[in-house]
Amino acid sequence: MRTLGFAWGIAGVLLLLSFAIFRLAPIAFELGELQLSLAHWASLVFSILYMAYAEGYKGFHRGFSPRVVQRANYLRENPRWHHVLLAPAFCMGYIYATRRRQILSIGLTLVVMGFVVIARQLPQPWRGILDAGVVTGLSLGIVSILYFLLNSLRTPGFITVSPEVPQPVFVDTDAAAHPDA
């Protein structure tokens, strides 16, 4: 169960990111069939560079990716059947996470969903330009997860971020048995 939860958690997150890339990439590749103005080319370069930095580096590499792998490591060491079953959601911080982590994870998901709704309204080439940047960021996110995964397997303790799981509550059974002590 330990290996299953670890593998399913990482694989599930990678599958979700890959699915988004495969849905968005064809729209970005449509740009190759269009006549782009200088403003379009400048916007495309900006979109790719900005999303590589903001989404790929700051969002994934500095935050999301190490935490996903760290939470998968935690799940491997502390498997519970319902966490293993929902391992991708566990690794993304939707379940069995600190209240702060859950709020951040759900909030970020809602913001992304809002951007998706807005982006769908954009005409080409603007939608393709935006999607090219998102595909770049998501692709770097996959590479980042694989980087942290391989390094954490090779060097235990490589990742120093907290898995942000709730702290267990310990009951002192001796004090409960002897209230006068």
pTM beyond 0.75: yes
Kindly report the backbone phi and psi dihedral angles of residue 82, in degrees, each rounded to the nearest multiple of 5, phi listed first.
-75, -30
pLDDT (tens, 9 = 90+) of the chain, 181 residues, equals 889 999 999 999 999 999 999 999 999 999 999 999 999 999 999 999 999 999 999 999 999 999 999 999 999 999 999 999 999 999 999 999 999 999 999 998 888 888 888 888 999 999 999 999 999 999 999 999 999 999 999 998 899 999 999 876 565 555 555 555 5
For 63, which DSSP code?
A: I
Per-residue CA distances from 143 to 27, 39, 73, 80 (Å): 22, 30, 18, 28
d(CA 64, CA 92): 8
Per-residue pLDDT, 111: 86
Per-residue pLDDT, 116: 84
Per-residue CA distances from 29 to 25, 84, 112, 129, 146 (Å): 6, 37, 21, 9, 25
